Structure 1
Amino acid sequence: MQHVTINDTGLHYADQGPRDGAALVFANSLGTDLRVWDAVLPHLPDGLRIIRYDKRGHGLSQETPGPYSIGQLADDAAGLIRYLGLRDVVFVGLSIGGLIGQSLASRHGDLLRGLVISNSAAKIGEADMWRDRIAAIRADGLPSIGAATMERWFSPEFRASGNAAPWQRMLERQPLGGYAACCEAIASADLRAETARLELPVQLIAGELDGATPPQIVQDTADLIAGSRMEVIKGAGHIPCVETPQTYTAILSRFLKEIGHV
């Protein structure tokens, strides 16, 4: 377990691989912790330095008072990258992690070599939807949204296999305040103008059956970014790094090779 205080917030992170390896930083989705990337790690190219972390209010990171903003979460990521002495990072952000990545590239572009926006967009849903969710979990707790969330996260086949159950437990055990504060960050985020100005290499990934960020809204974000790449994973939902890790990692590895990161 590794832990550091960034921007007055205790962040839990994992740092694996050679210290001089090209750096790959992973940011997880709403309601998950850094273990969401576990199935991807064995399939990554050798020699990478791999950083995973729990954003504030999630996993083993500190639950600071909310609401949060995406810019604040991006500044946390930048602080961690600088603390670790990394440069020319490729940042991989899933769902809210993709929003964090876009803000990071806009606010701290000197830190990045490339960006992967996975199952995310420059704007996700409408503010009222997110605030209704906040009200629901404050009234009834995170378990009240567990089953419906799994329907957005995973394909019917994956759910029928029973493999979604541990991920539902992970969601339901997240700090409620941190989850709500991150919902508020998403509700307030509209990064379309900033994202349209990005000039670094960008790979976007969508899941064909994603019920949270359908492929079309991911494509809409891809259309904002000159020279970006877009891939849709057939049969996968919102968390393809869990559901189809080998396919997911093949897309990621190809992007890393194209930009000279491996």
Structure 2
Amino acid sequence: MPVFENKDVTLNYATFGDSSNPALLFSNSLGTSYHMWQPQIDVLQTEYFIICYDTRGHGKSSAPTGPYTLNQLGQDVIDLLNHLNVDKAYFCGISMGGMTGQWLAIHHPDRFHHLMLCNTAAKIGNEAAWRDRAQLVREQGLAPIAATAAPRWFTAGFINDYPDVVAALSSALAAGSSEGYASCCEALSVADTREQLKDIRVPITVVAGIEDPVTTVADGQYMVDYIPNAKLATIDASHISNIEQPEAFNKLVRQYLNIQ
């Protein structure tokens, strides 16, 4: 796969489909890689020019010593779009990727037609908990986090019905970069867009999982209440909704990121 040498980081990315189609960029969640988007890549690459990348510290992207900032996570996206000569794109990010999308909507609205912010919040969790998790990971590695990830990511029914999918994602998390994960935790510890939501001037769809214990429907509704041009869509899933309910998720992408 191609890589982009950018400032302090090497970003691993991949593109799918015809570059003459509208560009749609996907941004992964904490502890995953761009491969989490395979259910979307398989179905949507005939309609969009899909761009996927591993967030810094994740997958095959490099993990420079942190802490990272939300500004860095967002600027990596802008730099990648520039590298690919994409002037304007659609965007879909989940959890941490949705937080990155908020930064993009606030700071670079001219680069996006529409952003889908999925299973995310204007403020995810609290600073102390994120810093504690970063310290744990630096001291003990990612195995303890991976061992307890499944109930945060998926409903009990999905865990029971698709154990191979859950095991593969958990194993990939355990094998990831401890420094990269911890540094992203530190970025999330202070990331807070609540005061800036009112300034967003690009169409937004917030997707919330009805069973999501991490970023709730109420978190999604809060964002919609404060973003001037935003809509809320719900999906019968937990936190990693694009994997738990791929058909429903893809339907929402087609519905809200409709090609004009």
Q: TM-score, normalised by structure 2?
A: 0.96
CA deviations on 1:27-79 (whole Å, 9 max, x unpaired) are 00000000000012233273310000001110000111100000111001100
CA contact (8 A) 1:95 1:120 kept: yes
CA contact (8 A) 1:23 1:87 kept: no
Give secondary structure in 2 for the equivalent of 1:58. coil
Q: How far apart, in 2, do the equivalents of 1:80 and 1:227 lie? A: 26
CA contact (8 A) 1:205 1:232 kept: yes
Matched, 1:55 2:55: yes
Instruction: Name the residue aligned to 1:172.
Output: 174
Instruction: Name the residue aligned to 1:100.
Output: 100
CA contact (8 A) 1:28 1:96 kept: yes
Q: How far apart, in 1, do the equivalents of 2:17 and 2:198 lie? A: 33
Q: Counterparts of 1:64-213 in structure 2 under 5 Å?
A: 64-161=64-161, 162=163, 163-213=165-215
Check 1:147–1:211 CA distance in 2 against 1; reply closer, same or farther (3 A cut): farther
CA contact (8 A) 2:18 2:46 kept: no
Counterpart code for 2:142 = L
How far 1:171 sits from its partner (Å)? 1.1
CA contact (8 A) 1:45 1:253 kept: no
CA contact (8 A) 1:206 1:232 kept: yes
How far 1:227 sits from its partner (Å)? 2.6
CA deviations on 1:64-97 (whole Å, 9 max, x unpaired) are 1100000111001100011111122111111010
Q: How far apart, in 2, do the equivalents of 1:55 and 1:67 lie? A: 14
Q: CA RMSD in A?
A: 1.3
CA deviations on 1:5-37 (whole Å, 9 max, x unpaired) are 123311000111111110000000000000000
CA deviations on 1:238-261 (whole Å, 9 max, x unpaired) are 11111111100101110112xxx3
Q: How far apart, in 2, do the equivalents of 1:233 and 1:55 lie? A: 25
Moved over 4 A (4+): none
Q: How far apart, in 1, do the equivalents of 2:219 and 2:105 lie? A: 20
Q: How far apart, in 2, do the equivalents of 1:55 and 1:30 lie? A: 9
Instruction: Name the residue aligned to 1:16.
Output: 16
Instruction: Name the residue aligned to 2:256.
Output: 255
Matched, 1:232 2:227: no
Give secondary structure in 2 for the equivalent of 1:193. coil
CA contact (8 A) 2:224 2:231 kept: yes
Q: How far apart, in 1, do the equivalents of 2:105 and 2:229 lie? A: 15
Counterpart code for 2:129 = M
Matched, 1:244 2:242: no
Q: How far apart, in 1, do the equivalents of 2:130 and 2:243 lie? A: 24
Q: How far apart, in 2, do the equivalents of 1:5 and 1:192 lie? A: 32
How far 1:211 sits from its partner (Å)? 2.0
Q: How far apart, in 2, do the equivalents of 1:197 and 1:76 lie? A: 22
Percent identity, aligned pairs only, is 35
How far 1:140 sits from its partner (Å)? 2.0
Q: How far apart, in 2, do the equivalents of 1:208 and 1:45 lie? A: 27
Matched, 1:42 2:42: yes
**Structure 2: segments with no counterpart, 5+ residues:** none
**Structure 1: segments with no counterpart, 5+ residues:** none
Q: How far apart, in 2, do the equivalents of 1:40 and 1:176 lie? A: 27
Give secondary structure in 2 for the equivalent of 1:38. helix
CA contact (8 A) 1:7 1:76 kept: no
